Structure 1
Amino acid sequence: MRTTPARRTALAAAVAGAAVVALAGPAAAHVTVQPGSVPQGGYTAVAFRVPDESDTASTVKLEVSLPMDHPMASVRIQPLPGWTAVLEKSKLDKPLNAHGKDITEAVSKITWTADAGTKIAPGQFQEFRVSLGAMPTNTDKLTFKALQTYDNGEVVRWIEEAKEGQPEPAKPAPVLTLTKAAAAASAAPAADHHASQDASGDQAAAKADDSTARTLGVVGIVVGVIGAALGVAGLRRKSGPAS
């Protein structure tokens, strides 16, 4: 039995729907670190992006643990109106040497707490920016475990680490990938740290804009396919009954 125009239209709509769902998959509402990749050995600014996943509760607290197996000598937060940030330090088993000085303790945890009247409401997200450095050169990734607290008392633990060859965990910890830095970049003086931070922020924004543009472009193609299918179905109905 041959497929009728109506069935063809339904099939096209189903394919389009599947394509939209596939596009939405990578953008699942997890706590992430942006950008997802930075060079080894340098100083950079990153943002912990926190979406509110609840339909009824709002996010009022974020705790991020920094990896103490690869501590960083410099950790600075960017002030965020409506949020109070507290940095906790821990003693290091082995001192770090930064600019000729031995560092015996490093920031191990950052906690952002919403002030009265401030929250990340359902359907919203917030970014918490931090300057970090120097990035380690003896690992290809940094894992930041995070706790997200809602105003109804619920705490979501973004602490699960992905394992090679296995599906992504339900509550993955934010991961920052470290890439090999060019010789010239690794030799940049400390005075250029702030410029590097601004450039990293611009790159993150550009990547986000590019991702949005690609998504909208593909959705437009999908809508076009549905429109074409409906047009064909209409022409066939006008020309006579389907065989």
Structure 2
Amino acid sequence: MKASRIATAGALSGIAVLALSAPAFAHVTVQPEGQAAKGGYATVNFKVPNERDNASTTKLEVNLPADHPLASVMPQPVPGWDVKVTKSKLAKPLESHGEKLTEAVSKVTWTAQKGGGVEPGYFQKFPLSLGALPEDSDELVFKAIQTYSNKEVVRWIEVPQEGQDEPENPAPVLQLSAAEDDAHGASGATATGGADAGDSGDSGDKADGHDTAAAADSGDDSDTTARVLGVVGIVVGVAGVAFGVLAGRRRGTGASA
């Protein structure tokens, strides 16, 4: 009985570790390359994982916030995907660089070319250059619609509320950092590629690259930690079972003697 309890405890320990190291349920999310400072420009990536085993993601629609219209929205080409930018009339004209704009981009749609898409077990990033970011908000909410090859549609449109549990289909939320004195210059160089920005622009690009690399390294470290914990859990479980079997044999041998 004691040996059986030990074996069971070992197995449960392994299962518990595996459960703790399992990745969180994936959603459509948005993250900036570097920082997204208020009043500046930023390049952001919409990360779209495929959450189905029998269908590919073939379409992504991203609706831009109507309460904070953006004067500049430019998609980066994604191989294997067609992109469409939709503009809408503004209820209140938007002033940008001394000019009044009566319309702004309200939606960006990516559609996979024939036979393509995000296959099961993969994800895809869809980049946008945005600006100028609002100065009177701490975040921007983008409602996204994901379509699969089997015609299934998932609406990531539920706005997370502070102090409440995350909704089942949360909308992507871009967190904005505090405004910086050089936010327009540095972010503008990133938005235009930084080719003619001079030494200052090159330095900014290197800094952004370093931040992005650091973020990637951090993500890799987290994945590695999760894998290590998973392996440790398995080893603990197997060791527990083996110990239980060995203890049972010794008890049986002692009884025979």
Q: Could you tell me which amino acid in structure 1 is paired with residue 157 of structure 2?
A: I
Does residue 107 of structure 1 match 2:118?
no
Which structure 2 segments of 5+ residues have no match? 194-204
Aligned counterpart for 1:92 among listed residues 62, 87, 90? 90
Q: Which moved more, 1:118-127 or 1:232-241?
A: 232-241
Which residue of 2 is the match for residue 208 of structure 1? 219
Which structure has the larger Rg over C-alpha atoms? 2
Q: CA, structure 1 residues 8+131, in 2 after alignment: closer, same or farther (shift >3 Å)?
A: farther
Evaluate the alpha carbon distance shift between residue 192 and residue 85 of structure 1 in structure 2; reply closer, same or farther with a 3 A threshold: closer
**Following superposition of structure 1 onto structure 2, how do residues 35-114 of structure 1 map, counting pairs within 5 Å?**
35=32, 38-41=35-38, 42-114=40-112
SS, match of residue 240 in structure 1? helix
Segment drifting more, 10-19 vs 109-118: 10-19
- TM score, norm. by length of structure 2: 0.78
Distance of 1:105 and 1:235 partners within structure 2: 75
- Aligned match of 1:31: 28
Shift of 1:34: 2.8
What RMSD over aligned residues (CA atoms) do the two structures have, in Å?
Answer: 2.9
Q: Tell me if the contact between 1:57 and 1:151 (Cα under 8 Å) persists in the aligned partners.
A: yes
TM-score by length of 1: 0.82
2:176 is paired with a residue of what secondary structure? strand
Query: How far apart in 2 are the matches of 1:60 and 1:72?
Result: 26
Q: Which runs of 4+ in 1 moved over 6 A?
A: none
CA distance in 1, matches of 2:10, 2:32: 36
Question: 1:117-172: CA deviations, max 9, x gaps?
Answer: 21222222211111222222211221111111112222111111122333221111
1:199, distance to aligned residue in structure 2 (A): 5.7
Structure-2 residue corresponding to 1:240: 251
Match of 2:13 in 1: 15
CA pair 91-210 structure 1, distance change in 2 beyond 3 A: farther
How many residues end up aligned between the 2 structures? Answer: 238
Query: Hey, what's the Cα distance between the residues in 1 that align with 2:213 and 2:175?
Result: 18
Using the TM superposition, name which of 192-201 and 87-96 deviates more. 192-201
